[in-house]
Chain A
């Protein structure tokens, strides 16, 4: 079983709409939780990093939340743009060890 599960697997929304992506994890204890955006054929680019004590972190139209009690995180995208079409990956950093644990990602398609 994956230690980082993301849902939905894929999502299609209209330009201008909002959406929320989910991440459930079992990694414990953990140091931080990250969200990355990966365009097709490119490397992942960091959106947010939250330590276990943080509840929310924003980066422009992207807002990530973290509930360490329920081991859930979400990424909310506001007023989506065509350029938001990409894979969004949730990543958990274990407290010990350098092997970050990646989810499989949610593929978001924004259409006009």
Chain B
């Protein structure tokens, strides 16, 4: 597609439920990022993929968060046993260029998935 596509746009979950958020990056972009944005805050890094390899997951807040990108294109962020503090917008971004371990190229964001945990 022309841009980064995320689904669902909105998700309401009861505390304790599992959720799965999907990201379709721009075709040909090898780098894919997940960010968490709480209300009134800037996005915070969760994890990074280069193709199918998860090279950095240092931002995942707990072992309830899991991300995968099995074929190097679509990625899924899964949150198990959701808690109220997980309520946030989850942003996916893709990029063509990561040079020498640093993000040097343009980063394109999706519209985000807004998760509300009741």
Residues in A lying within 8 Å of B, measured CB to CB:
4, 31-32, 34, 41-46, 49, 89, 91, 93-105
- Whole-angstrom CA separation of A97 from B102 in the bound complex: 5
- Can you report 19 A-B residue pairs in the complex whose CB atoms are below 8 A from each other? A31-B102, A31-B104, A32-B104, A41-B112, A42-B112, A43-B109, A43-B111, A44-B43, A45-B109, A46-B108, A89-B43, A93-B103, A93-B104, A98-B55, A98-B103, A99-B48, A99-B56, A99-B58, A99-B59
Contact B104 A102 (CB under 8 A): no
- Whole-angstrom CA separation of A96 from B45 in the bound complex: 14
Residues in B lying within 8 Å of A, measured CB to CB:
4, 31, 33, 35, 40-45, 48, 55-56, 58-59, 91, 93, 98, 101-104, 106-112
- Whole-angstrom CA separation of A105 from B104 in the bound complex: 21
